[in-house]
Every structure is written in C-alpha cells, then in structure tokens.
Amino acid sequence: MLTREENELICRVGPGTPMGQMMREYWIPALLSSELPGPDCDPVRVMLLGEKLIAFRDTAGRVGLIQNHCPHRGASLFYGRNEDHGIRCVYHGWKFDVEGRCVDMPNEPPESDFKHKLRARAYPCVERGGIVWTYMGPRKTPPPLPDLVANMRPEGQYAVRANMLDCNWLQAVEGEIDTSHAGFLHWGSVNPEDATPDTFLYWSVKDRAPRYQVVDTEFGVMYGAYRPARPGQVYWRIAQFLFPFFTQPPEGVLGQTWVTNAWVPMDDEHTMTFMMIPNPVSPTGGRRLPIQGSSDKYPPVWPELLPNTTDWYGRFRLATNLANDHGLDRELQRSGRNYAGIPSLRSQDQAMVESMGPIYDRSQEHLAVSDVMVIRVRRRLLQAVRAYQERGTVPPGVDRPESYRVRSGGVLLPEGADWIAATEELRRAPVEVS
C-alpha cells in the first residue's frame, strides 16, 4: 500500500504539482485528429492535466491548442470564430494564431502596437497516427515523440479509439497492468471445457493464479505472468508499462501485435484513454495460436459510446457508466453466462476502477503476491517524480524515443527457459514510420 502522502504525490496532476510537471516533460495525446475534421471547423474543449484548453484547426489545417480564456477580458475562446488562419474572440474581435500570437486587435486604434506585445498561452501540436499530440513542457525545443510503433503505422494501417473514465489516471493504469483479474472479471464464467484446447484462453482459465516475474526497464516496467501449458511448456503473458502513462496489454501473440494505450489525465478525477491499434498486424511467419475459445460466455470488447457533447467532460463517454451501474444485469450474473453481469470487457474494467471513487485512498489496501506489477510501477513512479522534483532529473524515456519500440503478448516457452532472453527479438518492435 501507499501512504496518503505518496498517493497524493503520484495521483495529483494539476499545474504546479510534481507529477503534473513531470508529465509535461513528455509529448501527450490531446485529442483525436478526427475531432477536428477540417480547416476552420468547430473548436473543441479539451481538459488536459487540469488545464482548460481550446483545440482548433486553422485554415491551413494546422492544429492549435490554446488557453480557454481570451487574454483580453477572459471570455472563452470556445465561442470564437475559427476563420482565416486563427481563432477570433467574439467579445471584442481579438484574434490568435495556433502559436498564440495576437494577429488582430480590431477594437484598438490603427496606430496601436499592443497586439505585438500580447501572446496567449498555446502549446505546440503535431499529428501522428490519428492522434493530436501536444507538448506542454518547459523546453523551447520539445523532445522527440516516443517511438510507439502502434502510432507510427502508414495511413490506412491503423485504428485509434478514445473513451473517458470518471476516475484518476493511476487507477486506470493499474487496472490494465493487473493480469490476474482477467480470469475472473472477464473470463470467470468460462470453464476449461468451454474453451478450445491448446489456446491461451484455455490455459488462462485452467490456472487462474499465474506466477509473476517483474523487471524494471529503460522505459518503465515489464511483467511476465506464467502458468503451465502443454507438457514441457509454459504459457507466458508479457506486458509493458511505459512512462508516463502508456501500457501495452498482453493481447494476441507476442511478436505479432503491439496495441498501445495512453491513459491521459484530464484532471485529478477524469482520464481519457487513447487506444492505438495497428491494423493489420505485422505477421511473424510463425503459427498463430488461437487466443479465444469458442465459448459464448466470452463478452464483446466495446460497448456503445454516447454522442459527444461540447462540455469539458462530454467526449467519448460509454453508454454504460456509473449513472446506470455500467449496465449491470443481476440475472445475467446469476445465470453463469457472464461472471460480472456487465455486458462488455471495456465496461467491466471501467466499472471496477470507477467504483473505487475518483481517487482511491491506497493506504486502505491489502496487497498480495498478484499485485507485484502494480507495486513495482508505483515504486518507479515515486522514484521518478522525486528525482525530478528534488534534482531536476529528466524522467525515463523523454530523450530516448527508441526505448518505446517494444511489444507485448502471449508466448509458449520451454520449461526453465530464461523468458527475458528467449523473447528479446519478439519484444522488439519494428519501426514503420508513416
């Protein structure tokens, strides 16, 4: 467990907080490119690290991310006119470009040069793989974007999704790096006889208490969860945490997939997830083992999304949410066809982390052996934020984009094999820049 002081240190991300300042050293996913569908389209409200911002795409197609309040008298630029290479406040007509420069001040006399002395706070943006990335840190020249290969595929060979959670970012991350929950929350109603033999699902439900090995990496933390498989072989489920808030779940076959999730703090109590999915996945030439059995007890992944609204917390919300108990169906739960009684995998995960409250008090926990990855990630975060706060140490991965070229997934290894050495090549992701 963490002390309350430690919990506050790594959970709070607003302006001026140690964790929030450390996160600003990284490029951060801000929104989907599709949310700004064309030049001079409608602006979008974006909450990011506790800061209210307005995103817009100018006449040339460039994306701007600018402070919410007009520097003149504080009216929201969300109501602004997005036109002719800038966003114009409708209160007095002051206009700002994507870099925050005031390019027009029509209510001032022609001889006034005040517009050249004024600048709105704006953060640089780049687009890659369907995501608008922004840099909110102190460097005049931002560091490179991380080499997250799922976000570097050529056009037409990737998919990207987003959804919002009503909880702190760390709860969301910890839900993903906890592998043992899958055998209960997601597959609790699947018995070994329901699953196709010789599949990852079969071995997962045959032994729901995997053993663990966890190691620190240059970019974060990696775990290997292992359990018996075929005679003389072990099924390994390998996954990554990458600073500051990226995860790679152990989906699919190691070496063939590299789905990456970003759990971006909107503020202390809301998180936006960006799922980066290479499609199609790159083949390795090896035989692909079935991941999922034929059981009808395996729930679908994605629930329906509500239509986006224009408020600060109105984007990419699940239709099943806290207000309707995430679609909990007690009869479905009792029937044995769905262990949780919640209709989709995404809703199941989200229900658990949101049910803890906006920020869970981790001093109340009772951690076990199965929480070893959660414990190690917390330790790395605490070490990094303290080093940054006390000595100005550059956090992991900021200046080493190539360290993010990794993959996760499942693999069969011989009993007694060194899992780290045996999977080195499979975990190395090829770079295919779009």
pLDDT tens figures, 93-104: 999 999 999 999
Residue 3 lies in a domain: no
Residue 114 lies in a domain: yes
Work out the percent of the chain whose per-residue pLDDT is above 70: 95
Residue 16 lies in a domain: no
Residue 119 domain boundaries:
27-142
For 202-228, the DSSP string reads: HHHHH--S-EEEEEE-SSEEEEEEEEE
Q: Are residues 91 and 164 in the same domain?
A: no
How many angstroms separate the CA atoms of 148 and 158, rounded? 12
CB 277 within 8 Å of CB 259: yes
- Out of 91, 107, 142, a domain closes at 142
Q: Name the amino acid, one letter, at 363.
A: S
Q: Are residues 118 and 160 in the same domain?
A: no
Element (H, E) at 372: helix 372-391
Q: Are residues 218 and 131 in the same domain?
A: no
Q: Are residues 53 and 127 in the same domain?
A: yes
Residue 13 lies in a domain: no
Q: Are residues 262 and 384 in the same domain?
A: yes
pLDDT tens figures, 207-234: 999 999 999 999 999 999 999 999 999 9
Residue 302 lies in a domain: yes
CA distances from 295 to 191, 192, 291, 339, 363 (A): 9, 10, 12, 13, 39
Torsion of the alpha carbons at 103, 106, 111 and 114, rounded to the nearest 10: -50
Q: Are residues 117 and 265 in the same domain?
A: no
The CATH number linked to 232 is 3.90.380
Residue 22 lies in a domain: no
Show the tokens assigned to 323. Answer: 């207000």
Burial bucket for residue 187 (CB in 10 Å: 0-12, 13-18, 19+): buried
pLDDT at 395: 97
- Out of 95, 112, 142, a domain closes at 142
Residue 192, preceding bond cis, omega within 30 degrees?
no
Residue 14 lies in a domain: no
- Dump strand ranges (E) for 85-218: 86-88, 95-96, 102-104, 122-123, 125-128, 131-135, 158-165, 211-216
Tens digits of pLDDT across the chain (434 residues) = 899 999 999 999 999 999 999 999 999 999 999 999 999 999 999 999 999 999 999 999 999 999 999 999 999 999 999 999 999 999 999 999 999 999 999 999 988 989 899 999 999 999 999 999 999 999 999 999 999 999 999 888 899 999 999 999 999 999 999 999 999 999 999 999 988 899 999 999 999 999 999 999 999 999 999 999 999 999 999 999 999 999 999 988 999 888 999 999 999 999 999 999 987 544 333 333 334 433 446 677 888 999 999 999 999 999 999 999 999 999 999 999 999 999 999 999 999 999 999 999 999 999 999 999 999 999 999 999 999 999 999 999 999 999 999 999 999 999 999 999 999 999 999 876 44
The CATH number linked to 136 is 2.102.10.10
How big is the CA angle at 409 (ends 404 and 413), to the nearest 5 degrees? 115
Distance of CA 69 to the CA centre of its chain: 27
- Out of 124, 142, 160, a domain closes at 142
Q: Are residues 73 and 174 in the same domain?
A: no
Residue 19 lies in a domain: no
Domain total in the chain: 2
How many angstroms separate the CA atoms of 230 and 343, rounded? 32
How many angstroms separate the CA atoms of 166 and 84, rounded? 37
